[in-house]
Structure formats: C-alpha cells, structure tokens
Amino acid sequence: MSALESPAHNNRRRRWRFTLWAFAAALGIMTVILVVNTVQLLAVGRWGKAALALALSADLAVLVVGLLYRRRWASGLALGTILIAATYAIGSALLVGLSHLSLVGMAGRALTLAGAVLALVAWLTLRPQFAPRSPPPTSTWRRLVAGFVGGAAALSLLLQVLLIGELMREGMFPPLVDDRLMAFDRLWRAMDEGYSHFEGSGVDWDDIQRRYRPLIATASDDDAYLDLIREMLAELNDAHTDLWVPSPDVVGIGATIRPVGGQAVITEVIPGSPAAEASLQPGMVITAVDGRLVEDALTVVPGYLADARSPVTREWERYAGLLPGPRDTTIRLSLLDLSDQPVEVVAVRTAWRRPSQTGPIITGKRLAEGWGYIQVPTLSSFEQNDLVAEFDAALDALLDTPGLVLDLRGNGGGNSALGDAMVGRLIAEPIAYGSEQFRTRHVMHGWALQDMPTAQPRGAQYTGNVVVLMDTGVASSGEWFVLALVEARRVITVGRVTAGSTGNPVVLSIAGGGLVRYSTSVFRRPNGETVEGMGIAPDVPVEWTLADVRSGRDPDLERAIAILEGAR
C-alpha cells in the first residue's frame, strides 16, 4: 500500500474534504441570508443597503464556486471584494462611532466582517489542494458556471465601486487634497443638496456662501479656517449641525448651569473637575462672569454654543455656554453661596476628563413607596455598555411593581434603535410614532427618501402605569423615545418641554482634520406636527425653584409619585 493510499492519509483527506464542505455550507447559508436581506431592503426602499447586501452575496457565491471547483482566480477575486466591503464596514463604524450605529447597522457590519473572516480562513487554509473532484462538467455546464462567476464578480465590483464613489462624494472620506477652499465648496454643495432645515429657517444659504467664501480663501491657518466653518454653521441655529475637531480648543470647567427662576444656578459639579477644585457647589448662583453681569454675559455667548432652533432650548444652552472658553484660560465668577453670601471664585479651563463610567449606565431601583424607578440618561454607549441589556435587567427586577417612573431627563439621544428596543418592553402592539423625510438620498440612510420609525413589542411586557420625567435636555433620539410612548398612549409625561432637536445627521470630512455633521431629515409626528424647533410639551409641567436645588428635592419625581398614587 502506497503512502498516498494509507489509512492516515485517507482520513486526513476526508477531514479536509469535510472542512471544505463545511466552510462552503457556512458561506452558502450566509449568501442565502444576504439575498433574503436584499429583498427585504428593496421592499422598504433601502436601495443603498440592498446594493451592499447584494454585492456581498455575489462575493460569497463566487467564493463558494471558486473553492469547490478549484478556481483560485474566482476565490481570490471574491476574497478581495469581500475585504473591500469589510474595510468599508470597519471604516464607517469607526467614523460614525459604534455607539451611534443602530442594531441593524451593527449586525450588518458584523455580518460583513464574518464573511471576510470566513473567506480569509477558507482561502488561506483550504486552497483547493484537497477539494473534492467533481465529474468533468459538460460544456454547457462549464459555460453556466463561468457566466455565473464572472457576472457575480462583475456585479459585486461594480456595486462596491459605486458605493465607495458615493461615499467619497458625500464626504465620508477625507478630501484627497487638503485644499480649504475646495473643501468649503464641497461642504456647501453637500448641504445645499441635502440639509433638511432650510425651509422656514430664514437662512439664505447662497448669501452665506458669498460672505464666507472670501474669508475662507484668506484664512491664515487651519485654526482660523475651522473657526470660520464653526461660525458659519452656527448661523443655522441647528443643534445637529456643528463642527468636530480632533483637539477641542474650547473647554468647560465641569459645572452645569441652568436657568432657575431667572437666575444662573449651578445644578451639577463633576467630581475631579476644575469646578470641583474651585469649591463650586450645586445651588450656588452666578451673578457675574469675568466682571460682566450675567444678563450681559448671556448676550455674548458664542453662537456655536447656543445653536438650537427652539427658543427655550437656545436660552437653556446660553446659560450652559456661560462657562466654556479657550483652553488653559482662567474664568472669574461672582456668586452667591448657599447662604446667599457673595463670593469670588477663579477656575482654570484645563483639558480635564470626566471620570469613566463604572458599572451600568442605565440603573433601576424600588422607591420607598413601592414604585419602580429606571433612569435612562443616554442612548449613546460610549463605554460600549449594552444599554438594552441594562434596561432589561433593571425592568425585570421591577416587573411586579404597580407603577414605574422612567427618568429620561438629560437624555440627549444617540441610537434610536436602542430606544425602540426599550420601548418594546412597555407596549403590547407595534407603534409607528412618526416619519422622517430626506431631501436627497444618502448612502448612510440607505438611499431612502422616507422612513417610518417603529417600535415593536418584545420580551416580558411591563403592564403597570408609567410616568416619564423629561426636560429640555431630552433631544434627538431621546425625543423619539418619548414620542413612541406618547403615541402609544402608554405614559403621562412630567417636567419641561423637550429640546425640539431632530435631524438624523450625516458626517462630512473637511480640510484641517475637521468633521462637519449636518441634519438631513425632517421628523414629523403622526399628526403631521414637526418636532424640530417645537419640542414635546409635558402633560404635567413642573418648574424648579432655587430652594429645590439647594435642598436636594426633586419636584419632578414627587409629582410623578403623586400621579401614580392617584392612579391606584
């Protein structure tokens, strides 16, 4: 018996053959899933995502054929195009930020990367060295296979080239040339085509181009150029349209200022911040900033620090903008301490960091009165916490409570899919809580012109009464969270009007290392009312007093408990 016919060799060959077919089966299943996903995406008008899914399914099909029929060029071509898609998935995830991706977006990128990993392993380890030999195909069969492989490969390459070209056109990649004027023109054109809130804003976008283009052309350096871009965007009064820079040159001191009874009151001091080091405390009242009375200081807060469309939110942000300024500068505050005695404090605006989050971001507890309480401060998981799992854990521990207080105050939004998943635990029927319209098709929105956000029931339902606490800090996806529950007639809302800031922004890279995000959609409630600039009014308004802040009372929570008590 020759070595090639030995039992050990035959066993090894059978193992390789089994492994090859297992890989091919896995890739085949993934291909079918992607084809089904393509049909589903086409059915709802998600042309961009459908194109990507179709491209990947073609890649995987080519790879399967290449492995089974020993066509190294086919498997290599498929591998290359899959890796292109994987690069897109990684790049877009890093650019957008994992915490801002929807569950569907993360699943799509995970599927893309899984396909790339499987392809890489199959191509490197298997090769067709031990591939099963099939009977010589007929010429017709050979032509069919060759046509399928060639057509699928050509389709995949074409779709991915078009996709990457569209992403470059929309500014998802940095400019090929670091030319400020060229980058400005690209930004102006992109927003001229796709910015969603020109109507009714009173903004003359053409006039803005005429005024700012000569200034951009003569900007002395990148810092001056980025300052002009920031100033230009601030004229839109849109909290979803702004400039991000790698190293912010404007920083705060770690204290939150809110208007309370017409006064600038410190409501929060972050431990370890310059404000904490300067002995600032919640309940202190700021009367002057750098020798200028608060009333006058509010009028000179830079526009980019108070760029909301809602007048209520704009006032809220002006108070919050009293303290930020250039990094490594000092700020002198005149205050009334907790005994209303005048004090002077000097703080330094250093590049400090907020303490990192330890433990769950979303927490729940059982109040002394027996009611449940869950706080959802954000829908952005920058620490990569599983926010939905945290919400589920908190709610599961409170399923037996007769009523629930859901505290969304300060929730500036993030990922609407996370909010929809949380709402799903509180509703019995699907709820389409609004619609958003896009002025133009964007790759990042799947080339759709319209979308209808919908929350679906899931898991064990909480059936008790629910009161939502909200304030002007609730914005964007946080407002969608509130709206889903309001439209489902599931809650009573308590507090203050929300920010009125929606926009589903996209990001565009510009010269100088900056990233501009700008609004692309108009969101409307089912009755046709817009949320942008209006916000959501509470069912039960509550206004805080200085005494509430100083005493540590929470009038919002007290009112919510009273409502639950009355509903027993």
pLDDT above 60 (res 86): no
Distance CA 270, CA 258 (A): 15
Q: What is the pLDDT of residue 145?
A: 55
Other Cβ atoms within 10 Å of 425 Cβ, number: 19
**Which tokens hold the place of 82?**
């899959």
Let me know the angle formed at the C-alpha of 256 by 250 and 259, rounded to the nearest 5 degrees: 115
Tokens of 538: 């509470």
The residue extents of the domains of the chain are: 3-169, 250-348, 363-566
252, 251, 229, 258: which is closest to 241 by C-alpha?
229
Q: For the residues 542-551, what does the mean pLDDT come to?
A: 96
Whether the pTM exceeds 0.85: the reply is: no
Given pLDDT bands bounded at 50, 70 and 90, which one contains residue 151? low
Question: Is it the case that residue 235 has pLDDT exceeding 80?
Answer: yes
What CATH number does the domain located at 250-348 have?
2.30.42.10
pLDDT at 480: 96
Q: What angle do CA 304, 310, 315 make, to 5 degrees?
A: 65
User: Which residue, chain included where needed, has tokens 């027996």?
Assistant: 370
Task: Round to the nearest angstrom and report the end-to-end CA distance of the chain.
Answer: 87
Is the confidence at residue 233, as pLDDT, over 90? yes
Nearest CA to 83 among 36, 116, 39?
116
The values of phi and psi at residue 28, to 5°, are: -65, -45
CATH topology of domain 363-566: 2-enoyl-CoA Hydratase; Chain A, domain 1 (3.90.226)
pLDDT tens column, 192-220: 989 999 988 889 999 999 999 999 999 99
Asked whether 484 and 396 are in contact (CB, 8 A), the reply is no
Half-sphere exposure of 522 (CA within 13 A, CB side): 17
Cβ atoms within 10 Å of 198's Cβ, excluding its own: 15
**Between vectors from CA 473 to CA 373 and to CA 481, what angle results, nearest 5°?**
60
Neighbours of 52 (CB within 10 A): 25
Res. 167: pLDDT tops 90: no
Long-range contacts at 356-365 (CB < 8 A, ≥ 24 apart): 356/383, 357/382, 357/383, 357/385, 360/385, 360/390, 360/393, 360/394, 361/385, 361/387, 361/390, 362/387, 362/390, 362/391, 362/394, 363/390, 363/394, 364/393, 364/394, 364/395, 364/397, 364/398
CB-based contact 500:534 (threshold 8 Å): yes
Are the beta carbons of 314 and 237 closer than 8 angstroms? yes
Residue with tokens 């960091």: 353
CB 520 within 8 A of CB 506: yes
pLDDT at 332 over 50: yes
Q: Which residue is listed with tokens 């501009």? A: 516
How sure is the predictor about 172, in pLDDT bands with cuts at 50, 70 and 90?
Answer: low
Residue showing tokens 């046709």: 528
Closest CA to 563 of 467, 451, 459: 467
**Residue 535 structure tokens:** 């916000």
Round to whole Å and give the CA distance between 101 and 380. 9
Residue in 349, 352, 354 with CA at minimum distance from that of residue 332: 349
> What H or E segment, with its residue span, contains residue 465?
strand 465-470
- Find, among 345, 342, 340, the residue nearest to 323 by Cα: 345
3-state SS class at 402: coil
Residue 223 pLDDT level (bands cut at 50, 70, 90): confident
Residue keyed to tokens 């909290």: 239
In this structure, the strands spanning 435-438 and 431-432 are unpaired
State residue 433's pLDDT score.
95
- Using CA atoms, how far apart are residues 286 and 332, in angstroms rounded to an integer? 10
Which amino acid type is present at position 168? Answer: M
Tell me how far apart the alpha carbons of residues 195 and 197 are, in angstroms, rounded to a whole number. Answer: 6
CA distance 301 to 459: 47
Q: For the chain, give the percent of residues with pLDDT over 90.
A: 49
Question: How many angstroms separate the CA atoms of 487 and 499, rounded?
Answer: 18
